[in-house]
Amino acid sequence: MSKNPVRSQRFLKACRREATDCTPIWIMRQAGRYLPEYRKLREKHAMLELAKTPELATRVTLLPVERFELDAAILFSDIMVPLWGMGVPFRIEENVGPVIDDPLRTEAQIRSLKSFDAQRDVPFVLEAIRQIRDELGGRIPLIGFAGAPFTLASYLIEGKSPRRLRWTKALMFDRPDLWDELMRRLTDTVIAYLKAQVAAGAQALQLFDSWVGNLSPAQYARFAQPHSHRIFQALKGAGVPLIHFGTETSTLLEAMAEAGGDVVGADWRIPLDEAWRRIGPDRGIQGNLDPAVLFAGSEVVCREAAAVLDLAGGRPGHVFNLGHGILPDTPVDNVARLVDIVHQASLRPAS
């Protein structure tokens, strides 16, 4: 991968809603189970071992950008990682995700959470960022990330993938004071974690709010938005683009845009032009191809990618992505085809 000055700035310029030579593309979970090289590594190393070993995290982060002409790399890690520093042990179960054996459901548990210090608690993440930046050599930018407070709280309270949010919503409604305290602590942690990533060399940041789509607009406004807003306010001066992403958030897009971020992600459940209208013209948009499309034939992949680009209308500020993370067993050839078609179909004449 040789350095191309135009390509090296394509993603960052799109995040700033500046004109680009073509639409940039990166893929959520691009360093993951669909890659045969990653599966080989997983035969020897557990997922969290990869994330906690800077040399391995660097290797995994680089796998997809060495194979495809992607316009950004994203740090290989997990949104749960900073919770170690707060004194919360967890594990990753195959086909389940993060599991916390002792969920936080009492006042004593929540008040026993430790203060987070990135240098002390996650030095391996910061070292991985430094190594990745060195390996990339400025060819494409590196995205850092964190889970949003609401999503982290959901895992902490439910104990695993929080599909129904039974315990989470019970705490929200029964003890809003205790909920606010938990969210304050998590927000402080996320701010410190993301600032440390930028200091280590991350050139953009994405806040993942994977489970916030389970909230109504009123619930989001009361229980989640103020905390995400505080994160974006705290990072305004960081000098890097900020991306705000959630799934099943068609009813929340306006409020998410108000919470903050230079770019707001849209999943595949809403047409991209409608999502952009609701986000507003003063922000970029990221998305939003259905990940399942990549299991179809090449003609379908090309057609559906072109449809997303058509809805973007060539306006500056579109970052092409899937509407959620790439699925395991996705055909690698279709990923290469998607990257190529996005670049080719969106190519703009040189001025």
pLDDT digits (tens, 9 = 90+) for 130-157: 999 999 999 999 999 999 999 999 999 9
Q: Which amino acid is at 18?
A: E
Mean pLDDT, range 200-207, rounded to an integer: 98
pLDDT (0 to 100) of residue 290: 98
Residues belonging to the active site: 29, 33, 42, 78, 155
pLDDT (0 to 100) of residue 4: 83
The C-alpha atoms of residue 305 and residue 294 are separated, in whole angstroms, by 10
Task: Tell me the pLDDT tens digit for each residue of 74-127.
Answer: 999 999 999 999 999 999 888 788 999 999 999 999 999 999 999 999 999 999
Mean pLDDT, range 270-292, rounded to an integer: 97
Mean pLDDT, range 301-307, rounded to an integer: 98
Question: What is the longest distance spanned by two Cα atoms in the chain?
Answer: 62
Percent with pLDDT over 70 in the chain: 99
Question: Are the CB atoms for 156 and 162 separated by under 8 Å?
Answer: no
How many Å separate Cα 233 from the centre of its chain? Answer: 18
Instruction: Return the minimum-mean-pLDDT range out of 17-21, 55-59, 164-168.
Output: 164-168
The C-alpha atoms of residue 320 and residue 116 are separated, in whole angstroms, by 34
Closest Cα partner for 224 from 236, 209, 235, 234? 209
Task: Tell me the pLDDT tens digit for each residue of 5-34.
Answer: 888 899 999 999 999 999 999 999 999 999
Question: Using CA of residue 286, residue 289, residue 295, residue 297, what is the dihedral sign?
Answer: negative
pLDDT (0 to 100) of residue 161: 82
Task: Tell me the pLDDT tens digit for each residue of 234-257.
Answer: 999 999 999 999 999 999 999 999
259-291 per-residue burial string, b: 16 or more CB within 10 A, e: under 16: bbbbbbbbbbebebeebbebbeeebbbbbbbbb
Percent with pLDDT over 90 in the chain: 93
Mean pLDDT across the chain: 95
pLDDT (0 to 100) of residue 2: 61
Closest Cα partner for 190 from 140, 224, 239? 224
pLDDT (0 to 100) of residue 163: 72
Residues in the chain: 351
User: Who's near 294: CB < 8 A, 6+ residues apart?
Assistant: 301, 322, 326, 327, 330, 331, 334, 335, 338
Q: How many Cβ atoms are within 10 Å of 324's Cβ, its own excluded?
A: 23
Mean pLDDT, range 266-282, rounded to an integer: 97
Checking if the pLDDT of 229 tops 70, the result is yes
The C-alpha atoms of residue 77 and residue 93 are separated, in whole angstroms, by 15
Q: Which domains does the chain have, with CATH numbers?
A: 5-345 (3.20.20.210)
pLDDT (0 to 100) of residue 317: 98
